[in-house]
């Protein structure tokens, strides 16, 4: 089991930001990444639908004999992590708790902003995780649904992105936050814009790094760290258009991807 791959899934390409951190922190580990590009976005869907999709994604990774599953998608972590943990006999790591922990550690005032997709904000999962760690913390939540298509269009550095960010983030004006959780896989690519709108007094929390560190410590704790010396291999699967996944994926990963294969998911009825 030790040398089996780590499975990572996301609704699409965005989770490659999490894979990138896992590969940086755990360079010897093999990974299998699934992007559910046929059904992206998850962020505007109901909880029931997101749970069903997440179960199917996880079953696909399990069939690749992964030793641990990382839910790189904030929407899927927020809505489906508890169900996956219940039904899978594998460790499951989501992005919410690591991100919440990093935010609580970073915040001095305990006033923490959270941005994410509609389904992530609606779930209240970040607030619950933050308040559990720090009961006196106060959170302020804003859904920013236009950020995902902006990043996918490659418009993250444009003045359109800045105007959209100003419009969404003005909701934090009165809140006086000192920390902002980037609660969506795509938002690390908007870090510069968000940071220029929020100003230097607000720390931005990217859960990708915190999640990779959590994976590292869990593997260590379970005695499941890969024992091989050479660099790990990375396999990529997408449920639609593998060529475009490979092409656009480079933007998220920062380096060229190996080729991507088409994934066929089995449907699972749930609930």
Instruction: Please give the positions annotated as active site.
Output: 73, 184
| Residue 74 φ/ψ, nearest 5 degrees | -65, -40
Question: Which residue in 117, 115, 118, 112 sits closest to 130, CA to CA?
Answer: 112
Total interface residues for ligand DGL by CB under 6 A:
17
Query: Applying CB under 6 A, does 43 fall inside the site for ligand DGL?
Result: yes
Among 75, 123, 141, 179, binds ligand DGL (CB under 6 A): 75
Least distance in Å: CB of 216 to ligand DGL? 21
The counts of H helices and E strands in the chain are 11, 10
Least distance in Å: CB of 67 to ligand DGL? 23
Here the tokens at position 11 are: 């609704």
Least distance in Å: CB of 72 to ligand DGL? 7
Report the residue number, 141 or 224, with the smaller CB distance to ligand DGL: 141
Query: Applying CB under 6 A, does 40 fall inside the site for ligand DGL?
Result: yes
Specify which residues 94 forms β-bridges with: 71
Asked whether 189 and 252 are in contact (CB, 8 A), the reply is yes
CA-to-CA distance for 147 and 46, rounded, in angstroms? 19
CA-to-CA distance for 128 and 228, rounded, in angstroms? 38
Specify which residues 195 forms β-bridges with: none
List the x/- string, 54-73, binding to ligand DGL by CB under 6 A: -------------------x
Report the residue number, 120 or 139, with the smaller CB distance to ligand DGL: 120
Here the tokens at position 103 are: 């935010």
Among 179, 185, 209, 239, binds ligand DGL (CB under 6 A): 185
DSSP 172: G
Neighbours of 173 (CB within 10 A): 8
Asked whether 207 and 95 are in contact (CB, 8 A), the reply is yes
Report the residue number, 226 or 236, with the smaller CB distance to ligand DGL: 236
Query: Applying CB under 6 A, does 184 fall inside the site for ligand DGL?
Result: yes
Among 20, 74, 79, 224, binds ligand DGL (CB under 6 A): 74
Q: Which residue is nearest to ligand DGL (CB)?
A: 43
Query: Applying CB under 6 A, does 52 fall inside the site for ligand DGL?
Result: no
Q: Residues interacting with ligand DGL, by CB under 6 A?
A: 10-12, 14, 40-43, 73-75, 117, 120, 148, 184-186
């Amino acid at each position: 089991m030790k040398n089996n791959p780590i499975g990572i899934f996301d609704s699409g390409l965005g989770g490659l930001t999490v894979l990138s951190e896992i590969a940086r922190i755990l360079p010897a580990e093999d990974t299998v990444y699934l992007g559910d590009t046929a059904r992206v976005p998850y962020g505007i869907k109901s909880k029931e639908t997101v749970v069903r999709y997440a179960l199917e994604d996880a079953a696909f990774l399990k069939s690749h004999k992964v030793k641990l599953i990382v839910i790189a998608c904030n929407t899927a972590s927020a809505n489906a992590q508890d169900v996956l943990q219940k039904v899978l006999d594998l460790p499951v790591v989501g992005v919410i708790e690591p991100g919440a922990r990093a935010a609580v550690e970073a915040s001095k005032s305990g006033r923490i902003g959270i941005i994410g997709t509609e389904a992530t904000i609606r779930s209240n999962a970040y607030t619950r995780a933050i308040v559990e760690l720090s009961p006196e913390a106060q959170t302020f939540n804003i859904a920013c649904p236009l950020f995902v298509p902006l990043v996918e269009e490659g418009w993250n550095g444009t003045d359109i992105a800045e105007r959209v960010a100003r419009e969404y983030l003005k909701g934090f004006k009165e809140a006086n936050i000192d920390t902002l959780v980037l609660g969506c896989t795509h938002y690390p690519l908007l870090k510069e814009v968000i940071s220029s709108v929020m100003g230097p007094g607000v720390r931005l929390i990217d859960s990708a790094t915190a999640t990779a560190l959590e994976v590292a410590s869990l593997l260590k704790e379970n005695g499941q760290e890969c024992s091989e010396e050479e660099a790990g291999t990375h396999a990529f699967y997408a449920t639609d258009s593998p060529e475009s996944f490979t092409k656009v994926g480079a933007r998220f990963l920062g380096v060229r991807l190996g080729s991507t294969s088409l994934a066929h998911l089995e449907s699972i009825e749930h609930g």
